[in-house]
Amino acid sequence: MNDTAGSKPMAEQSTTPQELSLVDLAQALDNEGMVSLTRSFVEDLRGGIKHATTEFFPWMDSLKQSKWSGILCLGMGGSAAGGDFISALAQLYGTIPIIVQRDYVVPSWWSSDWLVLATSHSGNTEEVLEATENALKAGATTVVLSCGGILSGLPEIYPKCFLLPSVGGQPPRTAFGHIFSRQLGLLRNIGVLPQPREGADEAMFERLQLAVEGFDILNDPEGDVAQLALCMLERPIALLGPTELQPALNRFKNQLNENAARFARIGVIPEMNHNESVAWGGVGSDQDATAPDHVLMLLTWEGMHRQVSKRMDWMVAHATTDFAWKIAGEGGTLLESMLHLCILMDWISIALAFLHGKDPAAIGPIMALKAHLESVQ
């Protein structure tokens, strides 16, 4: 078996990863503690919510007094995922639009009455740095969220730039709890998203912690999560869900890309029913179907539109694959449902990495690209 770039070689043996237990695979492959970081997800969320308040950052009060036309979130990769989630929440509960921009530039329509939220876990993401500095030079009021790097130093240069520090020492995709919770706390405190009723967050965190423990692949190495990962091992992966769960779909795809080095394709209902449904139906007989061996996972939550729910049931009944499942994000709110799905998807992607014999922290191609870009400057 060829070793995945950047991962720790398996012990010299004829045994394939699939023949070893997930416990043994984790011991051999988990070089940077991805299991431990996944177990800390809820504590990361809890800490970030408590941290991002006007008590610690009085400048939030001044932002609350301004009438913003919207919020522009700058970010890339795992650092941008939080922007997707708060944008989805704003669609249902917010007072102004939240737009995510993944690029070196700000949109041509942007003006200084849009608050800029620039996020880079390392503080040195080149796309975010360039876009942020361009916005600041154009008069932007900006909140930078980072655990260091150049981005964290911009408030010392620009008077309308404020730092919301995060927690470092881990890969950006595992820092989602730190990042998103601070973004959520910020937007609650400046009045863009509603404050929860007293005790609601803590009750949610307790339920989410039960999910972390229940999905833990080392606590239950032959349970449902492991079985799902085994089904995905040799099959193409497709992820579908309603519009409001698109951030969870995107994050699931990205976790599969980075943790397990696997491709995954996503579709959003109802839009995909107006085009992609034809491909799922195949061309001619069942034997000629275009996707007979795909794993099809449909993410759901209880707040979906009734017609979207009907469309999903039809997809499960008529898809040409035998491997189609609806997976519900538990919780009575979109926030809790998305976070519940995050927990499940993280465990699935890590289990799949182990079954492929890959260290889930290894991202050799990304590091090689960064080295190339630095060498040609």
Q: Where are the domains of the chain?
A: 17-31+217-355, 41-189
Q: Tokens 């036309």 appear where?
A: 69
CB contact at 8 A, 198 and 66? no
Nearest alpha carbon to residue 354 among 96, 14, 16: 16
For residue 153, give the amino acid letter: G
DSSP 3-state of 137: helix
- At residue 36, the pLDDT reads 97
Q: Which amino acid is at 283?
A: V
Using alpha carbons, list the distances in angstroms from residue 206 to 42, 234, 340, 342.
Answer: 8, 35, 11, 15
Q: Find the helix packing angle between 200-215 and 334-355, rounded to 10°.
A: 20
Burial 24-60 (b: 16+ CB within 10 A, else e): ebbebbbeeebbebbbbbbebbbbbbebbebeebeeb
* Mean per-residue pLDDT pooled into runs of 10, the chain (377 residues): 36 61 94 96 98 96 96 94 97 96 97 98 96 98 97 97 95 93 98 96 98 97 95 95 97 96 96 89 55 88 96 87 92 97 97 96 83 78
Fold type of domain 17-31+217-355 = Rossmann fold (3.40.50)
Q: For the structural domain made of 41-189, what CATH number should be given?
A: 3.40.50.10490
pLDDT at 289: 52
Contacts of 66 (CB under 8 A, 6+ apart): 115, 141
Give the other-Cβ count within 10 Å of 198's Cβ: 7
pTM over 0.75: yes
The pLDDT of residue 52 is 97
What's the pLDDT at 319? 80
